[in-house]
Amino acid sequence: MKIELKELSKTYKGGKTALKNIDLTLASPSLIGLVGPNGAGKSTLMKMLTANLLPSAGEILIDGQPLAKQEMNLKSSLGYLPQEFGLFEDLSAEQFLDYMAALKGIDAKAAKPEIERVISLTHLEEKRKAKIRTLSGGQKQRVGIAQALLGDPKLIIFDEPTVGLDPAERVAFRNLFADAAKSKLVILSTHIIEDVQSACDHLIVLNQGEICYAGTPDALMAKKSASSLETAYMALMDGRDRA
């Protein structure tokens, strides 16, 4: 899968320009970390990649075809965890996943083993029958990750997936994402540079709606003569206006 962003811009109704002229090509297999300060435009970019938001200018091509013409294909080939997502609090984790599988067009027979698979991947076995309202923040986050993995999509977009996870779960999920990315295109945003350093093969840094770095984490460290990605990132952001 190849995604091309061509001179992509987004200006919100109130006049705020959240993304300016983004040119970028992303190809699978890859695990791409998207980082940048609050308000940099990460969620805006992810919403446009998942056709949840229309660009103000420019276009997105998926395997050479405009995204706008592929919404039906996208339903089965895309997994998306939004930064803010509503869960149906009165459903159990399992019922919610069943509902999401139906929305994704997975037939009832195929849905059963698929739900088992994602429950096991996200370590929700003990909570599968529990109503979502009774889950902890991190457990709810795992239900959100689980629904994004349903149907084994080729493109997975996670907006801050590791928020609220305890350290052991964070490491487990980094491994899970790295594993998924062996055959897919996985894009995740995060404020935890360690998530990127240990798992991502590609890094994109956004600041005030513009890309200020795209490349490997190692190349950024070399460029900034830094011993850690955190230091290299801080050096990159130094002197730039943080939004």
Ligand X SMILES: Nc1ncnc2c1ncn2[C@@H]1O[C@H](COP(=O)(O)OP(=O)(O)OP(=O)(O)O)[C@@H](O)[C@H]1O
Q: Would you say 14 or 113 has its CB closer to ligand X?
A: 14
- Which uninterrupted H or E stretch holds 17? strand 17-27
Q: Tell the smallest beta-carbon distance from residue 92 to ligand X (Å).
A: 29
Q: How far is CA 183 from CA 62, 99, 156, 186, 195, in A?
A: 17, 26, 11, 9, 19
Mark residues 72-111: x for contact with Mg ion by CB under 5 A, - for none: -----------x----------------------------
Which of Mg ion, ligand X, none does 18 bind, CB closer than 5 to 8 A by kind?
ligand X
Rounded distance between C-alpha atoms, residue 66 and residue 43, angstroms: 20
Q: Which of 33, 43, 119, 132 binds Mg ion (CB under 5 A)?
A: 43
Which of ligand X, Mg ion, none does 12 bind, CB closer than 5 to 8 A by kind?
ligand X
Rounded distance between C-alpha atoms, residue 208 and residue 6, angstroms: 18
Q: Tell the smallest beta-carbon distance from residue 207 to ligand X (Å).
A: 9
SS3 152: coil
Tell me the DSSP string of 61-99: EETTEEGGG-HHHHHHHEEEE-SS----TTSBHHHHHHH
93-103 and 108-121 helices cross at what angle (nearest 10)?
A: 130
Q: Does 208 bind Mg ion (CB under 5 A)?
A: no
Rounded distance between C-alpha atoms, residue 39 and residue 16, angstroms: 11
Q: Would you say 83 or 95 has its CB closer to ligand X?
A: 83
* CB-closest chain residue to Mg ion: 43
Summarize as ranges the residues that interact with ligand X (CB under 6 A).
12, 14, 16, 18, 36, 38-44, 83
Q: Would you say 38 or 225 has its CB closer to ligand X?
A: 38
Q: Would you say 38 or 225 has its CB closer to Mg ion?
A: 38
Burial class (CB in 10 A: 0-12, 13-18, 19+), 152: middle
Rounded distance between C-alpha atoms, residue 119 and residue 129, angstroms: 11
Q: Would you say 77 or 83 has its CB closer to Mg ion?
A: 83
Which of ligand X, Mg ion, none does 144 bind, CB closer than 5 to 8 A by kind?
none
Q: Tell the smallest beta-carbon distance from residue 56 to ligand X (Å).
A: 12
Residues 179/29, Cβ–Cβ less than 8 Å: no
Rounded distance between C-alpha atoms, residue 72 and residue 104, angstroms: 10
Q: Tell the smallest beta-carbon distance from residue 10 to ligand X (Å).
A: 8
Q: Would you say 38 or 227 has its CB closer to ligand X?
A: 38
Task: Name the residues that contact Mg ion, by CB under 5 A.
Answer: 42-43, 83
